[in-house]
Amino acid sequence: MAFLCILFYRLDRLALQYGHRVLRLPPYHCQFNPIENVWSDCKRYYDANITSAGVTNEATVLNLWKQSLQQVTPEKWRNYVKHAEKLINEYWETAKSIDINPIAPVIIDLKESDSDYSDDDFVG
């Protein structure tokens, strides 16, 4: 008999109290997480503008990071989420199409055979 065990963390319960659900993504699959695209976009913006900003102090750096975060619009977020959903669906379709038993079984007959070949035929 199989048992379904659902593990609830304190954070999950807290999120549910406020009408949210925690989404757990598979480890080592950052391509499924839209925040990775946002982070990449912010870093690209920062890197492209840091040299022209003339970094002289901490305030300049912090201001540039704020600008890089503000340039991520709700439309960009929506596109990143759609892209991640597309990737997840593509991976899912690929996984469904993989044959579970792609290698044919090897059957060895241990009984004597009336083959025309003997072990002597294979001596080098």
CA distances in angstroms from 43 to 2, 14, 38, 73, 78, listed in the order given: 46, 32, 9, 15, 19
Q: Mean pLDDT over all residues of the chain? A: 83
d(CA 110, CA 92): 42
**Quick check: helix, strand or coil at residue 44?**
helix
Contact present, 44 and 30 (Cβ < 8 Å): no
Per-domain residue ranges of the chain:
28-95
User: What are 18-60's pLDDT values in tens digits?
Assistant: 999 888 888 888 899 999 999 999 999 999 988 776 677 888 8
Of 78, 18, 66, 75, the residue nearest 42 (C-alpha): 66
pTM of the model: 0.60
User: What does the radius of gyration of the chain's CA atoms come to, in whole angstroms?
Assistant: 29
User: Quick check: 66 pLDDT over 90?
Assistant: yes
User: Quick check: 67 pLDDT over 90?
Assistant: yes
